[in-house]
Amino acid sequence: MPADFYIDVPRRMVFTHGSGVLRLADLRDHMERLLRHPDFRPEFNQLLDFRLVTDVIITAEEIVLLAARNVFSPKSRRAFVVTSDLHFGLVRMFSAYRENAGEQGIKLFREMKAALAWLSLTEEADSNLFAKLK
């Protein structure tokens, strides 16, 4: 699955992992599955690991549609980890629209270690918790 997640209730965290080619349908599906999951709470934080995403096939208009969907609380912290300039720009566009909607806790990172630190997580979260998605 191009976008999957694991919810760690004790840590109040959603760990999202993306890989391969991501399209609008994949991202919408991810949101819908997350909202339906019995352990999900909008006030949880989120770590999105997009280091293995090879391509994102999405238009600017589709980013606006995704950003219009309110899934997390405005007080949640959401850390996106990306490696390419293109992915950085697409996530930055998404975060700008979310900021306009009142969500202030989105930050972009190039390195997992920095994202984990910002979310007050240890590096074991990267290796152990994302392993649960495989």
In the block, residue with structure tokens 């208009």: 61
Of the pLDDT bands very low, low, confident and very high (cuts 50, 70, 90), residue 132 is: low
| Average pLDDT of every residue of the chain | 91
Superfamily of domain 3-133: STAS domain (3.30.750.24)
Instruction: Delimit the domains of the chain by residue range.
Output: 3-133
CB-based burial label for 123 (10 Å; 0-12, 13-18, 19+) = exposed
The pTM assigned to this predicted structure is 0.90
| Tens-place pLDDT, residues 1-30 | 689 999 999 999 999 999 999 999 999 999
Strands 13-23 and 3-8: antiparallel
